Structure 1
Amino acid sequence: MPNERTAGEQPLPEGRFDGREAFDGIVRAALSAAVRQGWKELVLSDPDFADWPLGERASVEALQAWSASGRRFILLAQRFDVVERNHARFVPWRRMWDHIIECRVVRAEGSNAVPSAIWTPEWCAHRTDPERSRGVSGFDPRARRELREAIDESWRAGRPAFPASTLGL
């Protein structure tokens, strides 16, 4: 049955969330759902990903299990130095799966702030107040469309960043 879950599976949350623990749980649930449901595309967007649980073993294991041919992973940020510094397990995974990952950096100017969000074709989570980790998540098609439009707008203003390797002469 499609709605049955095995022990330890986290359902994708719907509605408002408040606080760092709630947001961390949402990220973990999203990565787990990406594996279970075989999402073809996963978009993570945040000014710097400083307080995301990307460096956790479980997060990288979920991303590894999700990674496959035909997948697309998009990372959008205002800066990636925090990712490199704070998410030691995530960085090697990013290097290994460079062929499915696109990273862009956006200079935040005025209303061009990068949203703090997770977007998938079926579900999304948007931290409307990243400082307090408050926001909303769910399956609403209109909310997903509006969030994707905001992400796409930032994406167009960005430039490639966070390379898998640094080549030098």
Structure 2
Amino acid sequence: MDEQHVTPIASRGEFQQAIRNAIAAAAREGARELWFADSTFADWPLSEPGVIENLGRWAASHRKLTLIAETFDEVARRHARWSEWRRPWSHIVECRSNDELERGQMPCLLLAGNLLAVRLVDPVHHRGTVSRDVPDLVRSREQIDAVLQRSSEAFPVTMLGL
């Protein structure tokens, strides 16, 4: 790994700032696809106004966002702004669930196309990296693909009921 292209993450605050920065970079640099993977997305700053604004800028150019989780309960509970933002963008946002992974095996990863990856290797203590290292981006994409292969659609935009 090229050390100048990798920055460590050592706290929850640094992780959240890395997510903010990655989404802003994706909007600014034109990443075609974004992948977000996490067990619950509880610690992600998805509903912050600045994140929503950058996601809107990013989404405006025929993009695709895929979220993969064990459960979307925390997204529905904690990220109301993101859930509202998603409604008009539902044609480019896909939410998937993989319940075949054992507890704690879901990666905590944001991959912004070929630009960068934010990865927590220790989600409990918020230890990880922000990487622009090409081999690391390839490994991140392979990890996302492996989780997606056994996933199914989840978290519909609208809930149908009686």
TM-score by length of 1: 0.87
Q: CA RMSD in A?
A: 1.7
TM-score by length of 2: 0.90
Partner of 2:120: 127
Q: Which secondary structure state, in structure 1, belongs to the residue aligned with residue 66 of structure 2? A: strand
Partner Cα separation in structure 1 for residue 158 and residue 116 of structure 2: 32
Runs ≥4 in structure 1, deviation > 6 angstroms? none
What residue ranges of structure 1 are gaps of 5+ in the alignment?
A: 1-12
Of structures 1 and 2, the one scoring higher in RCO (CA 8 A, sep 6+) is 2
* Partner amino acid, structure 1, of 2:143: A
Q: Which secondary structure state, in structure 2, belongs to the residue aligned with residue 35 of structure 1? A: helix
Q: C-alpha offsets along residues 117-169 of structure 1, whole Å, 9 cap, x if unaligned?
A: 11122211110011111101111111111111111111111110011112346
Q: Which secondary structure state, in structure 1, belongs to the residue aligned with residue 148 of structure 2? A: helix
Partner of 2:142: 149
Partner of 2:154: 161
* Partner amino acid, structure 2, of 1:23: F
Partner of 1:74: 66
* Matched residues, number: 157
Partner Cα separation in structure 2 for residue 28 and residue 58 of structure 1: 8
Partner Cα separation in structure 2 for residue 135 and residue 151 of structure 1: 17
* Partner amino acid, structure 2, of 1:83: V
Once the two structures are TM-superposed, the CA of residue 108 in structure 1 deviates from its matched residue by 4.8
Trace 1:62-141 onto structure 2 (pairs within 5 A). Answer: 62-110=54-102, 113-120=105-112, 121-141=114-134
Partner Cα separation in structure 1 for residue 110 and residue 101 of structure 2: 22
Partner Cα separation in structure 2 for residue 106 and residue 46 of structure 1: 10
Q: Which secondary structure state, in structure 1, belongs to the residue aligned with residue 80 of structure 2? A: coil
Closer/same/farther in 2, CA of residues 157 and 85 from structure 1, 3 Å limit = same
